[in-house]
Amino acid sequence: MTEAPLPAVGAVDFDAFVRRRASAGALVVQPRMGFMDPEAMRAGLAATRAADATTVGTLTLDSYTRLRDEAALATALAEGRPLNGYPLTTHPPEVTARMLAGLRGPDFPVQVRHGSAVPRHIFESMIGLGLSASEGGPISYCLPYGRTPLAQSVRNWADSTRLFATLRERGAQPHLESFGGCLLGQLCPPSLLVAVSVLEALFFHQHGVRSVSVSYAQQTNATQDREAVAALRRLCAELLPEPSWHVVIYAYMGLYPVTPRGAYRMLASAAELAVRSGAERLIVKTVAESMRIPTVEENVAALEFAAAAADTVRGWTGGEVAEVDADNEVYREAAALVDAVRDLHPDLGTALAEAFTKGYLDIPYCLHPDNQGRTRSYIDEEGRLRWADSGDLPFGRGGDGGGLAGRARTVTSAALHADLHHVRYAYDADEGPADDILAAVALPALPALPPGP
Amino acid sequence: MTAPARRDAHEPTPSGPGAPGGGAPATPGGTVVLGTVPSDSHTWNLVLLQLLLEECGFEVVNLGPCVPEELLVEECLRHRPELVVISSINGHGYADGLRLAPRVRARPELAELSMIIGGKLGVGGEAADRERGSRALLEAGFDAVFFDAAAADLRRYLLSGERPGEAAAAPALEEEYARGELAGASSAS
Ligand code: B12
């Protein structure tokens, strides 16, 4: 870092903002949004801020920035070739500062989301710009995002987290969200998602970031999802050293419904999960998800719809968090995973790398070279995600891992295709989940299907 | 279904593996190198295509996410595959593909290799871009380009020797949805 005096950052505390709004009865909603062009990005943030919902802003970075491919960035910018996100480290800092001016502030925090296992350059840019909220983690921004060796990602993330923590010296509260609740987006049994989220939050603490959020991506069965969020909350309450944390739900991160109605149903279910499980924040998806990067308008429609759906559900529940067995199967499995990993080494980074070597953590279908690839998942008759093969996951050591008996199933392309499309088909059907919410909340004007080939 | 753009749209029938002009292999078998472009980290597409290719009788070398150009070239030289399949869905497949194909073709040993690309190749989706994009990728060195195609299109390409130039009727995703796609198709293999 440079000696030059850095601008004061102000007191934007992402977690405090979210929890304040949540305790006032609002679900904070947030888009996944990133455009190459600063003007477009500014318009997107302005529209997010102005939306009829309690929002926070997002800067999603493009794939070249994530991988630090400077040649590709230079070519794309010179030739005006579109990128799939905002190139934060390539646009001059003044350009980004101007893009953000007057938008971000104590009432509208902006979070940077990027998916990089080599994130130092991104954190340096954020620090220079006083952007104090981001996302990631040594596992969750490595295994789903490329081929950087895990041990290297752990070192990089330890280093960047410590660097980010220095923002406190400038009066800001650096905040990190674990992406552990998503991993590959689909077909991962919830216990592993919960465990990785908790472990990464602990990792952030170990390296000096004390304001954290833990994530959980909606999966295939609403009851199992509620159990998972209950498990996540219980583990955080038990293990995190400070109370400055909240839960963020991601609307489904796998193959998304293709019909507009199906897409809104999916989002309504995600909002319902957030409200019924007591989560504070929700990241939405739009009608365009299955096909292309959404427009600003589609994002605003999704934010407003999700906020209205959440209000409707809250009207039904009176804000009561649904009762679920706190000692449920997801909790038992997740606790077994967390304990087994923490027992490996006092330095959590070392423990995490070793856990993957031993197969104590093993993500189904993940092709990353450091993932053992001995686990497989499937969707059972009730739509719950289960282990078809739990490989070397340490389930003997805590929970009984209910229903884990290694059911050997040969996976064909048709079977995998069916499991990948399970959610899409259920939500695109004539009648589907969350129809009760759709009856109560007006659907945004449904767009004509986007232009086909 | 989405008909692929072909390098030589006038070739009457697809010819054997590795044939100049790049028809689909008429008889399945042999090795396929499967991978993606350097910037793309999506892998479910690779997992699914691997299973599908194996069911079509190929042995698959799956290179996984974010394949550096050098690695692709090395693996092609090592395995001398019947076919190289590049699958990308992050929206950078087009731009990365333009850089990647010439790198492969620059090796004289790989100049005649059959190499195709498909997936969600561009950011945004206007039909004009798709056509222009396909043409540019063919010129860059791919033998066939499947813009916004479904996995079933690859299967059809490999097994049926379909003729090029059939009009794309509907967005692949919708059609895939309507037909239940692979679930029905795979019993034929
Ligand atoms: C799961 C997912 C992820 C996971 C991926 C984890 C992993 N390791 O795989 C995570 C969350 C990590 C992720 C990250 C990102 N994602 Co993503 N992701 C998805 C999602 C939801 C599903 C993709 C999937 O699993 N597909 C499963 C395969 C089996 O199906 P398919 O995609 O339809 O592929 C079929 C066809 O394309 C065809 N096909 C594919 N290749 C080929 C090749 C040939 C030759 C043929 C014939 C056919 C063919 O066959 C496939 C199988 O049927 C999609 C949206 C959706 N579809 O619902 C977005 C999506 C693909 N992601 C997108 C983006 C942009 C990203 C990010 C860049 C983040 C961002 N800016 O938003 C990063 C990627 C970073 C990087 N370096 O690349 C965009 C791409 C937009 C575009 N193309 O214009 C999508 C469409 C979402 C959106 N609407 O914005 N993503």
Test A366 with B120 for CB contact under 8 angstroms: no
Give, as one character, the DSSP assignment of residue B89.
Answer: -
> What pLDDT, on the 0 to 100 scale, is given for residue A447?
60
Q: What whole-number distance in Å separates Cα of residue B155 and Cα of residue B149?
A: 11
Contacts of A233 (CB under 8 A, 6+ apart): A247, A277, A278
Residue A205 within a domain: yes
Residue A2 within a domain: no
Q: Which residues form the domain of A378?
A: 9-444
For residue A13, give the CATH number of its domain. 3.20.20.240
Look up tokens 């003997």; give the residue. A396
Q: Among A14-18, A436-440, B94-98, B181-185, where is mean pLDDT lowest?
A: B181-185
Nearest-atom number in ligand 1 for the CA of A146 is: 77
Rounded to 5 degrees, φ, ψ at A347 are: -85, 115
Nearest to B41 among A145, A451, A452 (CB): A145
Test B186 with A413 for CB contact under 8 angstroms: yes
Contacts of B112 (CB under 8 A, 6+ apart): B18, B20
Give, as one character, the DSSP assignment of residue B109.
Answer: G
Tell how strand A57-60 and strand A110-113 pair up.
Answer: parallel
* For ligand 1, mutation pick of A118, A193, A253, A284 (most atoms within 8 Å of CB): A253
Are A133 and A175 in contact by the 8 Å Cβ rule? The answer is yes
Which helix H or strand E contains B15, and what residues bound it?
Answer: none
Where does the pLDDT of residue A448 fall: very low under 50, low under 70, confident under 90, or very high at 90 and above? Answer: low
Q: What whole-number distance in Å separates Cα of residue A227 and Cα of residue A36?
A: 39
Name the residue in chain A with its Cα closest to that of B126: A451
Say if A414 is an interface residue toward chain B (CB within 8 Å): yes
| CA terminus-to-terminus distance, chain A | 49
Contacts of B113 (CB under 8 A, 6+ apart): B18, B76, B81, B84, B104
Percent of chain A with pLDDT over 90: 87
Residue A4 within a domain: no
A369/B16: higher pLDDT: A369
Q: What whole-number distance in Å separates Cα of residue A236 and Cα of residue A15?
A: 15
* Nearest residue to B102 (alpha-carbon basis) of B145, B140, B139: B140
Contacts of A329 (CB under 8 A, 6+ apart): A191, A227, A399, A401, A402, A403
Task: Please list, residue by residue across B15-47, b when 16 or more beta carbons sit within 10 angstroms of its beta carbon and e when fewer do.
Answer: bebbbeebbbbeebebbbbbbbbbbbbbbbbbb
Whether pLDDT at A237 is above 70: yes
Q: Which residues form the domain of B146?
A: 31-48+59-178
Q: Among A8-12, A39-43, A286-290, B165-169, where is mean pLDDT lowest?
A: B165-169
Where does the pLDDT of residue A449 fall: very low under 50, low under 70, confident under 90, or very high at 90 and above? Answer: low
Q: What residues of B are in contact with residue A423 (Cβ under 8 Å)?
A: none
Say if A423 is an interface residue toward chain B (CB within 8 Å): no
Q: Among A55-64, A151-160, A325-334, A362-371, where is mean pLDDT lowest?
A: A325-334
* pLDDT tens digits, one per residue of A224-236: 999 999 999 999 9
Residue A451 within a domain: no
Test A72 with B151 for CB contact under 8 angstroms: no
Whether pLDDT at A347 is above 60: yes
Selected for mutation to probe chain A from B2, B43, B96, B121 (highest A CB count within 10 Å) is: B43
B149 lines ligand 1 (CB under 6 A): yes
A63 lines ligand 1 (CB under 6 A): yes
Are A285 and A252 in contact by the 8 Å Cβ rule? The answer is yes
Average pLDDT over residues A82-102: 96
Name the residue in chain A with its Cα closest to that of B185: A414
* Ligand 1 centroid distance, CA of B143 (Å): 23
Say if A289 is an interface residue toward chain B (CB within 8 Å): no
* Nearest residue to B90 (alpha-carbon basis) of A67, A4, A109: A67
A41 lines ligand 1 (CB under 6 A): no
Cα distance from A424 to chain B (closest Cα, Å)? 9
Residue A315 within a domain: yes
Say if A80 is an interface residue toward chain B (CB within 8 Å): no
Number of domains comprising chain B: 1
Name the residue in chain B with its Cα closest to that of A295: B124
* pLDDT tens digits, one per residue of A257-299: 999 999 999 999 999 999 999 999 999 999 999 999 999 999 9
Neighbours of A331 (CB within 10 A): 25
B126/A83: higher pLDDT: A83
Say if A420 is an interface residue toward chain B (CB within 8 Å): yes
Are B174 and A259 in contact by the 8 Å Cβ rule? The answer is no
Residue B63 within a domain: yes
Average pLDDT over residues A245-257: 98
Whether pLDDT at B151 is above 90: no
* pLDDT tens digits, one per residue of A54-68: 999 999 999 999 999
Residue A450 within a domain: no
Whether pLDDT at A357 is above 50: yes
* pLDDT tens digits, one per residue of A393-404: 999 643 334 343
Residue B9 within a domain: no
Residue A386 within a domain: yes
* For ligand 1, mutation pick of B89, B94, B134, B186 (most atoms within 8 Å of CB): B89
Q: What whole-number distance in Å separates Cα of residue A78 and Cα of residue A91?
A: 12
Give, as one character, the DSSP assignment of residue B146.
Answer: E
Name the residue in chain B with its Cα closest to that of A426: B177
Average pLDDT over residues A189-210: 98
**What are A281's two structure tokens?**
């924040």
Number of domains comprising chain A: 1
Tell how strand B144-147 and strand B115-119 pair up.
Answer: parallel
Where does the pLDDT of residue A374 fall: very low under 50, low under 70, confident under 90, or very high at 90 and above? Answer: very high
Residue A231 within a domain: yes
* Ligand 1 centroid distance, CA of B13 (Å): 32
> What pLDDT, on the 0 to 100 scale, is given for residue B184?
33
Contacts of A408 (CB under 8 A, 6+ apart): A388, A389
> What pLDDT, on the 0 to 100 scale, is given for residue A10?
60
Name the residue in chain A with its Cα closest to that of B171: A452
For residue B71, give the CATH number of its domain. 3.40.50.280
* Ligand 1 centroid distance, CA of B130 (Å): 17
> What pLDDT, on the 0 to 100 scale, is given for residue B123?
86
Are A87 and A111 in contact by the 8 Å Cβ rule? The answer is no
Where are the alpha helices (H) located in A166-295, listed in sequence order? 190-206, 222-239, 260-277
Q: What residues of B are in contact with residue A188 (Cβ under 8 Å)?
A: none
Q: What whole-number distance in Å separates Cα of residue B113 and Cα of residue A347?
A: 49
Are A330 and A224 in contact by the 8 Å Cβ rule? The answer is yes
